[in-house]
Amino acid sequence: MSDTTTTPSTANKLVAEALGTFLLVFGSIGAALFASDFGTGANGTSLGIGFLGVSLAFGLTVMAGIYAWGAISGGHFNPAVTFGLAAAGRFAWKDVPAYIIAQIVGGAVATTLLVLIGTFGPDGWLSDAQNGGFASNGFGEGSPGGFGLGAAITAEILFTAIFVVIILGVTNSKRGTPAMAGLVIGLTLTLIHLASIPIDNTSVNPARSIATAIYGGALPLAQLWVFIVFPLVGGLLGGFLHRALFESPALPEAQAEARVK
């Protein structure tokens, strides 16, 4: 059979990024809103999925998106990851703005459809969800555990940097295991959420934060800058750190030839 594989166009890549971010936000935020605290059964057993279930939802959706569309766009689905890959020299800076716009659009469409579903829910469900912040990120009054601004800033920088370093490591074509990348990245995102949901509801992804804040009310919108700025800082830190530690600089041509001889 002849090889019909073609290089994805820019439009293909942007659609893939929008779809992947849509899946991530729709699945994970949907799990947080609809299933995380679903009350108790007749025998007193909890019917909700809790923090563990929501953490898995984030990991599973990003894993599915990577295996579905990663070969087309690279499977970023997150502006901080796009920044990190560019900082590491794995992605062109000129393509960063278009990717980020596609990611933000995908996330916003996802939460818009969640609102649409909510309009047909039980009386008061949607207003309660929005008054509760719509699963938005936050610190202080907006933090599930009451953690302050400093905790949110530190967590977002560190966890995003860790996330990007792992992504860069596992997708390295020479030393990593690209075939397992989706699984490793999904499990890493699950672990990050397990550790940090109580701190600030876990962002590490500005597109996710924007998508929920636009329906979360005044407090999430007022605090949104933290979850845009500091995941991007963490992404840059992770990208530069990986590049400095693990990416060998190209040798000058004469030096490379001397080594071969």
Q: What is the percentage of the chain residues whose pLDDT exceeds 90?
A: 84
Does the residue 254 lie in any domain? Answer: no
Does the residue 237 lie in any domain? Answer: yes
Does the residue 44 lie in any domain? Answer: no
Q: Are 223 and 138 in contact (CB under 8 A)?
A: yes
Which of residues 252 and 218 earns the better pLDDT score?
A: 218
Residue 39 burial (10 A CB sphere; 0-12, 13-18, 19+): exposed
Query: For the segment 152-186, what is each residue's pLDDT rounded down to a tens digit?
Result: 999 999 999 999 999 999 998 777 778 899 999 99
Task: Identify the CATH number of the domain in which residue 60 sits.
Answer: 1.20.1080.10
* Predicted local distance difference test score (pLDDT) of residue 95: 97
Does the residue 252 lie in any domain? Answer: no
Domain that holds residue 87: 10-35+54-245
Which of residues 66 and 37 earns the better pLDDT score?
A: 66
Task: Work out the end-to-end distance of the chain between its first and last CA atoms, rounded to an integer number of angstroms.
Answer: 41
Report CA torsion sign: 14, 15, 21, 25. positive
Decide if pLDDT at 259 tops 80.
no
Query: For the segment 7-20, what is each residue's pLDDT rounded down to a tens digit?
Result: 899 999 999 999 99
Q: What is the percentage of the chain residues whose pLDDT exceeds 70?
A: 93
* pLDDT band, very low/low/confident/very high, at 241 (cuts 50, 70, 90): very high
Does the residue 140 lie in any domain? Answer: yes
The Cα 34–Cα 213 span in angstroms is: 17
The pTM of the whole model exceeds 0.85:
yes
Q: Domain tally for the chain?
A: 1
* Predicted local distance difference test score (pLDDT) of residue 220: 98
The Cα 166–Cα 189 span in angstroms is: 10
Of 227, 236, 164, 233, which is closest to residue 201 (Cα–Cα)? 227
Does the residue 257 lie in any domain? Answer: no
Decide if pLDDT at 261 tops 70.
no
* Predicted local distance difference test score (pLDDT) of residue 248: 65
Q: Are 146 and 135 in contact (CB under 8 A)?
A: no
* Predicted local distance difference test score (pLDDT) of residue 179: 86
Structure-block tokens of residue 228: 């845009």
